[in-house]
Chain A
Amino acid sequence: MKIVVLVKQVPDTEWERKLEPATGLLDRLTGENVADEINERALEVALRYKDSHKGTEVVVLSMGPASTTKALRKALSMGADSAVHILDDALAGADVGWTAEVLAAALKDSSFDLVIAGNESTDGRGGVVPAMVAEHLGLPFLGSLNSAEISEQSVSGERRGEVGTLTAHASLPAVVSVTERSAEARFANFKGIMMAKRKPLATVSLRDLGVDPAALAGTGRSVVMTASQRPARTAGKKIIDEGNAGIELAEFLVAGRLI
């Protein structure tokens, strides 16, 4: 079994995240850039299968700027076998459509059985790239899985819905995405961190993938026109309850016509 896990480097949600006002693109210099937490859960789903099925190969794949290497090394230290980093200046400003097309090009000839992604990134929150990749590859897509059971022939699990859940399955090869309920990610131990340094991390360009940047430009792309920061919220009145706070709050709500 060969499982490819999609990884995205995002700004850490513990810090203030910024957009460049002129371009609307992500400011990657502020705060810390990390592998998205949801990707670590996706990787955990793959690693749990690998733990109980020897001979399973787990590859992590990411498209992003040079700093993305850090996120891929983290995934290798958690237990992935190898990493592929798609790095190309022509991809600056790539939207979800371009990203999916390039990821699909990298997956096309990799003879995988299963692709696992997070259901949505914490930065863009688009939640569309995994399904787009599946469509490019002509494969079944099983998205937003709260749980994933992998077998030789198929993948199944509980899918999150708007009001409830449903259970579904797809035959392999397939693409799935998992939610934050799927698996608690393991920590990389010292041995894993040392071993990660010797694991293969391939850097590939669009040319290596046989993708013509000019052809990409023919695909509809969404672009940012303007980005403006909203003023930060400020704290209002704060009281310590001395037995009357509920009444005071009711008065506040009445004054604001909220009750």
Chain B
Amino acid sequence: MSNVLVFIEISSTGKISNTAPALLAAAAKLGTPVAVVATAPGAGAGLTDELGALGAARIYVGESDAVGTLLVSPQLEALSAAAAALEPAAVLVSNSVDGREVAARLAVRTRGGLIADAVDVRSDDGKIIATHSAFGGAYTVESTVEAGLPILTIRQGAIEDQASPAAPEVTTVSLAVDAHNSAVIDEVNDPVVDSERPELRGAAKVVSGGRGLGSKEKFVLVEQLADALGAAVGASRAAVDAGYVPQTSQVGQTGVTVSPQLYVALGISGAIQHRAGMQTAKTIVAINKDADAPIFDVADFGIVGDVFTVVPQLIDAIEARAN
């Protein structure tokens, strides 16, 4: 089987990104999954067991002192070197901020064909075919690459499979990174991640709050319901703009796109741009004071009412049931 390269993102603290399992699973459907990482010299060895458990048949480690100081360039060099050495049938990258840039630059270098934001991928008679969810899920689109190496960015949280564990063989190379053509990292400000609550992307349940919550303090209500349901916390752009929550929580056209089993919209009017980020949810619940709020047009269960009376009652009912 032909090699399929998977770009594995490593956090500033050395952790393998949570997008890795889905990418390796997608690669296993297309060929032999090869995990490609860029690390500081000597730091790659600690990743072998975890990547093997996630299904990497082979690990290609590019080492460079520039990891952590030059923006994206060491990662690009690692993937370029692997693409040159391993004659891959395809390259899979997360549709993340870093991943998109690596994929974009690699596509130019290899004169490959770039497919962005796929939600699924399959091989049909040797041809790589990607599925997309376009215009907020209004369309399902299939695409392929006419010529050249197919390079795909995969939407985070879209693929839930996991590949069978493997015992990977490891190749380590030293990378030459040209600092001249690279942006330089000055400081990393990653917050301490709240591990208790599921991450928004790929969450099975999401509770989102909007401007209707009224203040940052009162937005806690959204978190309380999320915790009662075991859900991730999201928000409308209006709530983010008002400073209730960080931008990483934004659901919608210009934020995160979610497709959970359950989406609960609290105090969100449901502008078309918000609906574009959540309307493929299996079940949608909306609570809003305004009976004419457009969110009710897509809600399976809508309540015209005050979130500050309905939600506490709901939380009590959930807790009573749990006991």
Contact = CB atoms under 8 A, between A and B. Distances in A.
B167 to A, nearest CB: 30
B139 A228 contact: yes
A225 B144 CA distance: 7
Nearest to A165: B189
B303 A249 contact: yes
Contacts of A101: 108
A161 B97 contact: yes
Contacts of B186: 156, 166-169
Most buried by B among A180, A226, A245: A245
Contacts of A22: none
Contacts of B305: 240-241, 245
A166 B247 contact: no
B300 A97 contact: no
A237 B299 CA distance: 8
Given A228-B140, A235-B302, A127 B146 contact: no
Interface stretch (A11-19, A43-51, A108-116): A11-19
Contacts of A244: 313
Q: Is the interface of A mostly helix, strand, loop or mixed?
A: mixed
A145 to B, nearest CB: 10
B40 interface: no
Contacts of A96: 104, 114, 116
Q: Is the interface of B mostly helix, strand, loop or mixed?
A: mixed
B35 interface: no
Contacts of A246: 309-317
Contact of B279 (A136, A233, A237, A256): A233
Interface string B221-241: 000000001000000000000
B185 A222 contact: no
Interface in B150-172: 150, 153
Given A100-B108, A174-B183, A235-B296, A131 B140 contact: no
Contacts of B272: 13-14
B129 interface: yes
Given A143-B97, A166-B187, A245-B305, A222 B254 contact: no
Contacts of B138: 16-17, 229-230, 232
A225 B188 contact: no
Contacts of B115: 222
Contacts of B185: 166-168
Contact of B303 (A144, A170, A232, A241): A241
Given A230-B138, A238-B296, A162 B253 contact: no
Nearest to B204: A258
Given A161-B190, A235-B299, A246-B312, A124 B181 contact: no
B113 interface: yes
Contact of B189 (A123, A164, A232): A164
Given A156-B186, A221-B146, 14 more contacts: A122-B254, A132-B108, A134-B105, A143-B97, A165-B189, A168-B71, A169-B184, A220-B113, A227-B142, A238-B302, A238-B304, A240-B303, A246-B312, A250-B321
Interface of A: 13-14, 16-17, 19, 24, 38, 95-97, 100-101, 120, 122-132, 134-136, 138-144, 146, 156, 159-170, 174, 179-181, 218-230, 232-233, 235-241, 243-250, 252-254, 256, 258-259
19 contacts: A38-B254, A96-B114, A125-B116, A126-B116, A128-B101, A128-B104, A142-B71, A160-B247, A162-B17, A168-B183, A169-B183, A224-B143, A228-B139, A235-B296, A240-B304, A245-B287, A246-B313, A248-B303, A249-B287
